[in-house]
Structure 1
Amino acid sequence: MVGQGLNSGTSVFLARMGNTAAFAGALAAVFSASAAVARIACGPLVDRAGRLRVMVAGAVLLLVGTLLPALSSNDIVFVVCRVVQGVGFSAATTASATAAADVLPRSRLGEGIGYYGLGQALAMSVGPALALLLVNTDPAANLYLGLAGMAALCVVLTAFCRYERNPSRLPATAAYRRLFEERERRAADRKNRRSASGAADAEPTTEERGLQRVFEPSALPGALPMLVLSPAFGFGIFFAGLYGTTLGVGNPGLFYTLSALSMIAVRLKSKSFMDRVAPIKVFTASTACGLAGFALLLAAGASEIAYYAAGILYGACLGVSMPLNQSVAVKNTPPERWGAANALYLLASDIGIGIGSAVWGVVNDAAGFPVTICCVMGCILASWVVAWFSYPKPARPHNQP
């Protein structure tokens, strides 16, 4: 919520302070670039230094980068703070995504990541609404004070992520516990061999090279569909409220409220399908909801009800597709590389939302909202095509040809 609130609230704050839209756009690019570069380092760092250390460091950086703009309105301070915010956001989210996957029983990995993904999805809906509420108070710097308070809460909550110190408390099939037990077994075997031979045996290692050191290619089946789908979510975050205001909708913020409620409802029902139904079938239903939701937005000019109903379908699409693609990325990757896998997945989401939002602004200025919404629907359809080819195919029973 802090990250999404900063993205949506900073431009409004700068406008109230008399800055230009171009400066606000440049700061958005600084945040996106910083977050993307930080993903490169955070993936392997999470796998080597541990989830807790990276999560705490990211939360502290996010707190510092959020608090400083409330104390100084200098342009250089804003630029530096956007860099710090981007790095902190990337570190905290990469580590927390990996931690969520670590502690889940294997048979319920998809369902569990779905609950984790609910936090991401709700943040994309609630964060912007909260930021707009804060920035429109007096003084506008309450935006950063309020979000800094949430960042401080994040720092406190990270202190409870201590499973790395006691993996035996995790479910027997949890990936981190099994990885820990495997390392313990290998260490005991090496010790026995040294005792028997009187010499140390070198443990064979596989050294990743190039991009494989920072990203896990096995996560691409989940990351690629998300890359293509994320621009649709970028439209929802940055333009759905503006579109409702342009249409004269009485309460545009209700779009986000209804989408959040829809996400919660979908996640509560996830147990019945997330780990039991083929991913492509779940994704098909998700993208169908997205297409229907944006089709309703096209018809919203004649009916406010269509605008609000679009929020419900948008929430269903967002609430299913994000955790689904993340679970595909993680399940397709060795547990010892989950940090790099989550870094690649989240980078795909960041790039899709960032680039998509910039493109939608240009398209909207040139051709209007109806054309932009049609382009968004094209992205949703294209993401389904990418998923069809990239998702792992379900294994067939041996008695079938």
Structure 2
Amino acid sequence: MNNTNEKLFNKGFIAITFINFIVYLVYYLLMVIIAVIAQSNLHASLGQAGLASGIYIIGTLLARLLIGKKLELIGRKATLRYGALFYLLTTIAYLYVPVIPVLYLVRFLNGFGYGALSTATNTIVTAYIPKARHGEGINYYGLSTSLAAAIGPFLGLILLNTTDFHFIVAFSIVLVLIITIMCYLFPVKNVKLSEEHIKALNKSSFDSFIEKKALFIAFMAFLMGLSYSSVLAFLSSYVKVIDLVQVSSLFFVVYALVITFTRPLSGKIFDNLGEKFVMYPSYLFLSAGLILLSMTTSSWLLLISGGVIGLGYGTFMSNGQAVSLKTVKDEHRISVALSTYFIGLDLGLGIGPYVLGELRTFLSFQNIYLVASILPIICMVLYKIYTSKKAVKAAL
């Protein structure tokens, strides 16, 4: 694919964006229901149910480390196709989970498949975005991830209340089967590697697994993911305490609507004015949204907080990805840079429920959200210090 083509919405871009949407939709759909299923169907304890959710992230992180390093060596085409096939087989495996240890194994392997496939899609899409429109293109592409993060939990909770686990798994299998077929039909060009590049990627050094230039934005992603995990982990319990269960499902609908309408604008701002004009607002909005959520006593305030959180976390997710792309110049390092960024994001989302859950033993939900709101402010301060130092170095 010629990256100089100025047409953003080409067939390749649309297809890989749709594939990515389904990958993340199934991930979030199963994430919100698996703990409940573990407790009700397998009689797991609360701790065992939590591990069933968290072990998925371990598989994902392992895949991002290994596939991020080896993707260009294996080839983008093979990684996409075999990743999709493995994601499909491990989704089918949910149909047979008679005991909790088997569920752990299936969740771990399914997490690995998700990590491998999403690393491939996140890398491949860059070949279909014109360089001059990277910010805009990544924002449109990132919309698929953000919408999945909103629609997945919403759909999962509805299906959980109206159907059973086997129907949900069957529904997920059909979705993954569709994108698996698409992955085998999708035209992917592998990056041509020089002998020097092959040697560098084959080394078992820190640089071969992690892109050092993307470490800072990955750390910001970790803190932002940690902060947002308070919403994913505790919203369903929190709305019961404040008696807003009936309207709570609309929280993610408002979240999705806000990011849908604001994402194109934030991408253009990124390209035309610079990253700081979207990064600073993302930190402020997430912090403000969590503060509003901690103060919520009415339906309208709950929904407003959902919109403001969408402006914060939803904006950060895709623009952070665009920032990580800016850190590398060599095409063969794109997969490593993106893998580094998403490792930070996934790690924050993965350990957040446990870390913040420990605080729940002596803090109210309201205070947990206040604690979570401090993290984006820390990000903003660190981001200011980091960018100021970079500006000084560039001026010398």
For normalisation by structure 2, the TM-score amounts to 0.86
Q: How does 1:178-327 map to 2 (within 5 A)?
A: 207=200, 208-249=203-244, 250-301=246-297, 303-327=298-322
1:6 pairs with 4, 21, 30, which one? Answer: 30
Residues 214, 327 of structure 2: 8 Å contact kept = yes
Unpaired runs of 5+ residues, structure 2, are 1-24
Secondary structure in 2 aligned to 1:24? helix
Residues 147, 256 of structure 2: 8 Å contact kept = yes
Q: Distance in 1 between matches of 2:198 and 2:78?
A: 24
Q: Name the CA shift for 1:206/1:60 in 2 (closer, same or farther; >3 Å).
A: closer
The residue number in structure 2 matching 1:134 is 159
Q: How does 1:89-108 map to 2 (within 5 A)?
A: 89-108=114-133
Q: Distance in 2 between matches of 1:4 and 1:391?
A: 33
Residues 5, 127 of structure 1: 8 Å contact kept = yes
Structure that is richer in helix per residue? 2
Shift of 1:114: 1.0
> What letter corresponds to residue 321 of structure 2 in structure 1?
Q
| Residue correspondences, number | 366
Residues 73, 198 of structure 2: 8 Å contact kept = no
Q: Is 1:81 equivalent to 2:106 in the alignment? A: yes
Q: Distance in 2 between matches of 1:61 and 1:390?
A: 40
Residues 288, 373 of structure 2: 8 Å contact kept = no
Moved more, 271-280 or 103-112: 271-280
The one-character-per-residue Cα deviations of 1:262-316 (angstroms, maximum 9, x if unpaired) are 1101113234302112212211111221122112112212x22111100111111
Residues 125, 237 of structure 1: 8 Å contact kept = no
Q: Distance in 1 between matches of 2:391 and 2:124?
A: 28
The residue number in structure 1 matching 2:183 is 158
Shift of 1:139: 2.8
For normalisation by structure 1, the TM-score amounts to 0.85
Q: Distance in 1 between matches of 2:388 and 2:167?
A: 47
Residues 136, 264 of structure 2: 8 Å contact kept = no
Secondary structure in 2 aligned to 1:22? helix
Q: Name the CA shift for 1:163/1:376 in 2 (closer, same or farther; >3 Å).
A: same
Percent identity reads 23
Shift of 1:388: 2.2
The one-character-per-residue Cα deviations of 1:42-67 (angstroms, maximum 9, x if unpaired) are 11221212222212222222222222
Stretches of 4+ moved more than 4 A in 1? Answer: 202-206, 391-396
Unpaired runs of 5+ residues, structure 1, are 166-175, 187-201
CA root-mean-square deviation: 2.4
Shift of 1:260: 0.5
Shift of 1:113: 0.9
Q: Name the CA shift for 1:276/1:136 in 2 (closer, same or farther; >3 Å).
A: same
